[in-house]
């Protein structure tokens, strides 16, 4: 069954170990560095209560409706329905929560689509991953994940690092499970989750088997520690001055696993580099990531374009031909992002070994990985150009508008046709938070790298696409004429 936002906020009071600014945070739901973002996540759970037909579905073997993201799509329409749910949830946060609860829920469904992939030579995690899918769906739980090793020395294998537990590895076996030690980086929104999944997406050599493990444990498990980056929400002076930073900072953490005990029933892959890699690439899990991310980027570009239109109108430049060109360019990028989402859904393909399940078209999904990181910085740049110096010359705080003497000066000098000082400042504060604040800088970097570096996803397009089809077309042209034709 789905849960309410209040139930989600209550779940944050479970003793999880989160560190920020040298202090341990005991309750994310009430701490000034996390509370508004936690409420934004809670509001997504409440949406399922108000829009059950769009955001929930019946899943075989599970009593009551669950989040649609946990559904294994078995038709094009079911896949599209999941995409529409992604779209509704992303619009609720204007595209700024990249790791909302539905993101990993779709991946968990992807694992459960092909449980046989988790059957290794020495360990069979297939039953565990099915039970995990059921548990997460029944409880409407928030699955966080950590996949990336720390940037210590990327030229060396895990076991060749200065210390053998810089990267997470298995250090012991016990009767009921295993003990792991090490760290994973960029745990985006991990501190807000119910459980955190550890996985490996790249194929490691067989001699690195100690590091080839996949599992999920509650975030409050003894030994799991979250070391938070700077909280942009915590630094936001008010919602008026930082409307995005203050409400949609999903945070990123270094997640340290300090001798964490993992019961066998929570292990999906064990000391098996091949199975660890196949968990993401031989199931619909990764392409599910892309489906969600592409839908959210579509929303985010739409939002930035909307802000650009409002800024142009506030500057009274909206009807100028050069400005119309800029707006048209941004709207073309929105249409491109939308087209990629709809195309990967419409050209969906059967999941190999998926018992009739379907997934987004892999070639188009991987093409989106190349297009998305290029579109987002360009949209940000266009908005900066349209806003000009108005982004720089803003009062320091909303309090200036509440002080009569200063407010009178702002009312005289900071305005435009049809926009008084409060309306204009409010709009340009929003634009600055989207393109110029520390929060905005993080999102620019995030959109460039959240699905991997270019050297990872660009070759994947060759693997998932049809390079020979392209080459054959070129050969047809070559074969159509000869040297004798002059």
pLDDT at residue 32, as a whole number: 97
Task: Give residue-wise pLDDT tens across range 273-324.
Answer: 999 999 999 999 999 999 999 999 999 999 999 999 999 999 999 999 999 9
The secondary structure of 345-401 as a DSSP string is HHT-EEPTTSTT-EE--HHHHHHHHHHHHHHHHHHHHHHHHHHGGGGTS--S-THHH
Greatest CA separation for the chain? 87
Phi, psi (rounded to 5 degrees) for 306: -65, -40
Mean pLDDT, consecutive 10-residue stretches, the chain (486 aa), reads 93 97 96 98 96 92 90 97 98 97 97 98 97 96 95 85 90 96 96 97 92 98 98 97 98 97 98 96 96 98 98 96 97 98 98 97 94 96 96 94 96 92 97 98 92 79 90 95 85
Task: Check whether 154 is labelled as a binding-site residue.
Answer: yes
End-to-end CA distance of the chain: 74
Task: Give residue 54's Cα distance to chain centre.
Answer: 21
Of 50, 44, 54, the residue nearest 93 (C-alpha) = 44
Q: Taking the alpha carbons of 306, 311, 317, 320 in that order, is the dihedral positive or negative?
A: negative
Task: Give residue 212's Cα distance to chain centre.
Answer: 23
* Secondary structure element (H or E) that encloses residue 161, with its range: none
To the nearest 10°, the Cα dihedral for 227, 149, 190, 80? Answer: 160
Classified as helix, coil or strand, 467 is helix
Task: Check whether 50 is labelled as a binding-site residue.
Answer: no
Task: Check whether 146 is labelled as a binding-site residue.
Answer: yes
CB 194 within 8 A of CB 11: yes
**57, β-bridge pairs:** 66
Percent helix, strand, coil in the chain, to 5, is 55, 15, 30
Task: Check whether 484 is labelled as a binding-site residue.
Answer: no
pLDDT at residue 460, as a whole number: 80
pLDDT at residue 63, as a whole number: 81
Of 339, 189, 179, the residue nearest 252 (C-alpha) = 189
pLDDT at residue 59, as a whole number: 85
pTM for this model (two decimals): 0.94
Q: For residue 255, what is the DSSP state? A: E
Task: Check whether 151 is labelled as a binding-site residue.
Answer: yes
Task: Check whether 55 is labelled as a binding-site residue.
Answer: no
CATH no. for 284-473: 1.20.140.10
368: its two tokens = 């989106």
pLDDT at residue 184, as a whole number: 96
Alpha-carbon gap, residue 129 to 125, rounded angstroms? 6
């Amino acid at each position: 069954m789905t849960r309410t936002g209040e139930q989600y906020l209550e779940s944050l009071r479970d003793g999880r170990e989160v560190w920020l600014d040298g202090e341990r945070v005991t309750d994310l739901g009430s701490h000034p560095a996390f509370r508004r973002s936690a409420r934004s996540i809670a509001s997504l759970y409440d949406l399922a209560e108000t829009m059950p037909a769009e955001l929930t579905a019946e899943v075989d073997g599970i009593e009551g409706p669950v989040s649609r993201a946990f559904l294994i799509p078995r038709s094009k329409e079911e896949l599209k329905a999941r995409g529409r749910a992604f779209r509704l949830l992303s619009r609720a946060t204007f595209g700024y929560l990249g790791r909302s609860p539905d993101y990993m829920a779709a991946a968990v469904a992807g694992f459960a689509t092909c449980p046989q992939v988790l059957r290794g030579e020495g360990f069979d995690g297939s039953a565990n991953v099915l039970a995990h899918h059921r548990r997460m769906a029944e409880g409407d739980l928030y699955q966080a994940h950590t996949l990336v090793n720390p940037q210590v020395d990327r030229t060396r294998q895990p076991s060749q690092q200065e210390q053998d537990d810089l990267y997470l590895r298995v250090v012991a076996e016990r009767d009921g499970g295993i003990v792991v030690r090490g760290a994973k980086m960029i745990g985006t929104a991990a501190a807000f989750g119910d459980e955190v999944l550890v996985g490996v997406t790249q194929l490691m050599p067989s001699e690195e088997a100690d590091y080839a493990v996949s599992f999920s444990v509650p975030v409050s498990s003894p030994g799991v520690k979250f070391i938070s980056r700077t909280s942009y929400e915590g630094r936001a002076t008010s919602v008026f001055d930082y409307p995005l930073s203050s409400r949609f900072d999903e945070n990123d953490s270094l997640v340290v696993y300090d001798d964490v005990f993992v019961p066998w029933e929570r292990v999906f892959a064990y000391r098996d580099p091949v199975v660890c890699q196949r968990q993401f690439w031989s199931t619909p899990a990764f392409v599910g990531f892309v489906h969600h991310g592409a839908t959210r980027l579509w929303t985010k570009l739409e939002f930035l374009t909307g802000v650009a239109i409002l800024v142009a109108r506030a500057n009274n430049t909206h009807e100028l031909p050069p400005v119309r060109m800029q707006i048209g360019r941004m709207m073309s990028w929105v249409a491109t992002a939308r087209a990629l989402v709809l195309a990967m859904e419409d050209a969906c393909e059967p999941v190999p070994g998926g018992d009739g399940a379907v997934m987004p078209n892999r070639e188009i999904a991987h093409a989106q990985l190349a297009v998305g990181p290029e579109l987002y910085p360009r949209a940000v740049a266009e908005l900066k150009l349209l806003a000009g110096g108005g982004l720089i010359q803003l009062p320091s705080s909303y309090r200036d508008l509440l002080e009569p003497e200063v407010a009178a000066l702002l009312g005289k000098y900071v305005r435009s046709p049809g926009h008084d000082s409060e309306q204009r400042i409010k709009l340009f504060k929003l634009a600055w938070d989207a393109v110029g604040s520390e929060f905005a800088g993080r999102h620019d970097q995030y959109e460039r790298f959240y699905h991997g570096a270019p050297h990872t996803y660009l070759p994947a397009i060759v693997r998932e696409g049809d390079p020979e089809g392209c080459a054959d077309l070129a050969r047809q042209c070559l074969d159509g004429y000869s040297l004798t034709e002059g």
